[in-house]
Structure 1
Amino acid sequence: MSILVTGGTGLLGTRLLKRMVASGLNCRAIVRAGKSLPTGVDPVEADLLRPQSLKAAVEGVSAVVHLAAALRTPEPDDIWKTNLDGTQNLIAATKQYAPDARIIMASTGLVYNADSAHPACEDDAVDPQKPYPASKVAAENKLRESGLTWAILRLGFVYGDQDGHLQSIPKLADMFKWHPANKLSLVHHRDVDTAINLALTGAMDGQIVNIVDEAPMSVYEITRLIGGSMQPSAAPLANPWFGQLDGTRARNLGFQPAVSSLHQSHRDGTL
Structure 2
Amino acid sequence: MTAPILVTGGTGTLGRRVVPLLRAAGRDVRVLSRRDRAPEPGMTYVTGDLRADEGVERAVDGVRTILHLAGGPKGDDEAARHLVRAAARADVEHIVHISVIGADAVPLGFLRAKLAAEQAIAGSGVPFTVLRAAQFHEFVLGMVEKLAALPVVPVPGMRVQPVDARDVADRLVALALAEPAGRVPDLAGPREYELKDVVRTYLAARRKRRPLVGIRMPGKAGRAYRAGANLTLDGTRGTRTWEDFLAERTSAGEGVQPREFVRRQGE
Q: Deviations over 1:32-58 (max 9, x none)?
A: 235689875311112213546222211
Contact 2:36 2:45 in 1 (8 A): no
Rate the CA distance shift 1:139–1:112 in 2: closer, same or farther, 3 A: closer
The answer for the alignment partner of 2:55 in structure 1 is 53
The answer for the alignment partner of 2:212 in structure 1 is 231
Distance 1:142 1:215 in 2: 32
Contact 1:59 1:98 in 2 (8 A): no
Please say if 1:87 is aligned against 2:67: no
Distance 1:201 1:20 in 2: 9
Distance 1:187 1:38 in 2: 30
Q: Deviations over 1:4-29 (max 9, x none)?
A: 11112222222332343344432111
Rate the CA distance shift 1:112–1:188 in 2: closer, same or farther, 3 A: same
The answer for the alignment partner of 1:74 in structure 2 is none
The answer for the alignment partner of 2:95 in structure 1 is 103
Q: TM-score if structure 2 supplies the norm length? A: 0.73
Distance 1:203 1:226 in 2: 40
Unpaired runs of 5+ in structure 2?
A: 217-221, 251-267
Matched residues, percent identical? 21
**How far did 1:68 drift?**
1.3
Distance 2:47 2:33 in 1: 5
The answer for the alignment partner of 1:119 in structure 2 is none
Contact 1:211 1:247 in 2 (8 A): no
Unpaired runs of 5+ in structure 1?
A: 72-78, 115-127
Q: Deviations over 1:232-270 (max 9, x none)?
A: 5599x9654336422524x4xxxx5242x2234345x26
Q: Deviations over 1:123-162 (max 9, x none)?
A: xxxxx2x321111111111111111111111110112xxx
The answer for the alignment partner of 2:187 in structure 1 is 211
What is the correspondence of 1:94-173 to structure 2 with a 5 Å cutoff? 94-100=87-93, 102-114=94-106, 128=107, 130-159=108-137, 163=138, 165-169=140-144, 171=146
* Matching residue within 241, 257, 261 for 2:227: 241
Rate the CA distance shift 1:270–1:241 in 2: closer, same or farther, 3 A: farther
| Code of the aligned partner of 1:140 | E
* Matching residue within 135, 138, 156 for 1:179: 156
Secondary structure at the counterpart of residue 157 of structure 1: coil
**How far did 1:170 drift?**
5.1
Please say if 1:33 is aligned against 2:35: yes
Higher alpha-carbon Rg: 2
Q: TM-score if structure 1 supplies the norm length? A: 0.72
**How far did 1:105 drift?**
1.0
* Matching residue within 184, 192, 195 for 2:171: 195
Distance 1:230 1:41 in 2: 49
Distance 1:230 1:11 in 2: 31
